[in-house]
Amino acid sequence: MKEGCFIRAYKYWIVPETAQSEPFLKGVANAFGQTRFVYNKLKDYVDKKLDNREKLPSKTDLNNYVNRKLKKQHPFLRGSVDKFCFTHAAYQLHDAYSAFLEGKRGQPHFRKKFDSVQSFTTNFTNNNIKVDEENGIVELPYFNKRKGCPVKAVIHRSIQGRIIGAQVVRHATGDYYVVIICEVKIDELPENEKAVGLDLGIKDSVVCSDGTVINSIRALYQSEKSVKRTQKSLSRKYEAAKKRTPEGCRVQLSKNYLKDKAKLARKHKRVRNQRYDLAQKTSNKIVNENQIIIIEDLHVKGMLKNHHLAKAIADAGFYQLRRCIEYKAYALGRILVRVDRWLPSSQLCSHCWYQNKEVKNLSIRVWDCPNCHTVHHRDVNAAKVIKAAGLEMLSKGYYHSTSCRNAAKLSVWRGRYSQTNLTSPQ
């Protein structure tokens, strides 16, 4: 990729006029099914290789296996909707296995027809992907005017940069989306003087060191009752269906079960969208306003193991928020500092660094320092401590926890802070 370029995806909702039309449904069903078939065959192939203690086949090997073996054995693959979706399936499998072998992720699963999300991805070649913003029409390989099923979608946002691929996705709600993947050149934002420390919390989503509080919406908490009710009704219908079915057969699910399933998916989607919206807005605000952003390097996966707090933590959407802040800060030329997760940020006094162990108790919201008698708001104080610790790390050049896309800029800012005395946090 060219310097200063980033991948950006534009996700458009496909309108029912297309999403419910016969040629479209037939086309996607084929593409999803064949991609899934190829992916599973490849996984089987890779599993056998690994069992024989051979090394992971390369992307090219996998692709050749599809073209030379699978297409011969299974002639229906030759009449595929689009040839690149198999290449992508091979690449996705390769990425999944590389991550697995490096110990970053678990072993890849087989894909199933009833997985809640189905998709296929394709490449841009010979102008085969077009977006007509005026008429709201997207053209993809096979799904184009020539084949009689161009995709009508809500183009709520115009595309920038160079198109490199596209993906069609079906969600559990039954909605279809087309995702246009682009390579976009993003310029750095003009620099400013502000630095901010962020404390992520359950009660308030984000507390900034300057005292700004961004409220948590607690999306699941709000619709929990309604989600529970639908889940119960769904489960009742499943149990009834299980009783009806003779032993040893696949459970015959009723029409009402499927209706409930879609209803539940819609409710979960609402919760997900609310969290996503807050994460985007919050991260935009923080990244636009501050040059240096200091966050705690929280171990979210570990925190979720605490059963008392797991639901509240998951509901606050920490991981997504942090991910948004990180990638936006990088793309827009901001400096991001990750502070060690073992720093007792909420116990330290941001004025004199005195450690007050009594504040460990989460119910204490306001406390005064026994050493210097400053009155602290729990989360604002924590954010101030995080900020001070982060600036110190920046000045000392802890490069593994500091990131900026522009190395020259980073060293300038580092120099600026190393001249000031940072032993005291204020």
Q: Least distance in Å: CB of 347 to Zn ion? A: 11
Q: Least distance in Å: CB of 340 to Zn ion? A: 21
Nearer Cβ to Zn ion (9/364): 364
* Cα distance between residue 220 and residue 231, in whole Å: 14
Query: Does the annotation mark 210 as catalytic?
Result: no
* Cα distance between residue 53 and residue 24, in whole Å: 43
Nearer Cβ to Zn ion (258/372): 372
Strand boundaries in 324-364, DSSP class E: 335-339
Nearer Cβ to Zn ion (169/348): 348
* Cα distance between residue 1 and residue 143, in whole Å: 28
Q: At 353, which amino acid appears? A: W
Q: Least distance in Å: CB of 99 to Zn ion? A: 45
* Cα distance between residue 229 and residue 189, in whole Å: 47
Choosing from 199, 260, 315, 326, the catalytic residue is 199
**Phi then psi dihedrals of residue 196, to 5 deg:** -140, 140
The set of residues, in sequence order, having a beta carbon less than 8 Å from that of 26 and lying 6+ positions away, is none
Nearer Cβ to Zn ion (327/354): 354
Query: Does the annotation mark 199 as catalytic?
Result: yes
CA–CA distance from 271 to each of 40, 264, 315 (Å)? 32, 11, 9
Residues that bind Zn ion (CB under 5 A): 349, 351-352, 354, 369, 371-372
Query: Does the annotation mark 326 as catalytic?
Result: no
Nearer Cβ to Zn ion (241/352): 352
H-assigned helices in 342-424: 378-396, 407-418
Q: Least distance in Å: CB of 43 to Zn ion? A: 58
Q: State the Cα torsion 11-227-234-261 to the nearest 10°.
A: -10
Closest CA to 290 of 206, 400, 217: 206
3-class secondary-structure state, position 59: helix
3-class secondary-structure state, position 295: strand
Q: Least distance in Å: CB of 376 to Zn ion? A: 8
The set of residues, in sequence order, having a beta carbon less than 8 Å from that of 360 and lying 6+ positions away, is 346, 347
Q: Least distance in Å: CB of 386 to Zn ion? A: 16
Choosing from 82, 139, 260, 296, the catalytic residue is 296
Q: Which long-range contacts (CB under 8 A, 24 or more apart) does 231-237 make?
A: 231/264, 233/260, 234/260, 234/261, 234/264
Nearer Cβ to Zn ion (369/391): 369
Q: Least distance in Å: CB of 356 to Zn ion? A: 8
Say if residues 248 and 426 touch (Cβ distance below 8 Å): no
Q: Are strands 176-185 and 162-170 parallel, antiparallel or unpaired?
A: antiparallel
Nearer Cβ to Zn ion (66/389): 389
- The catalytic residue positions are 199, 296, 379
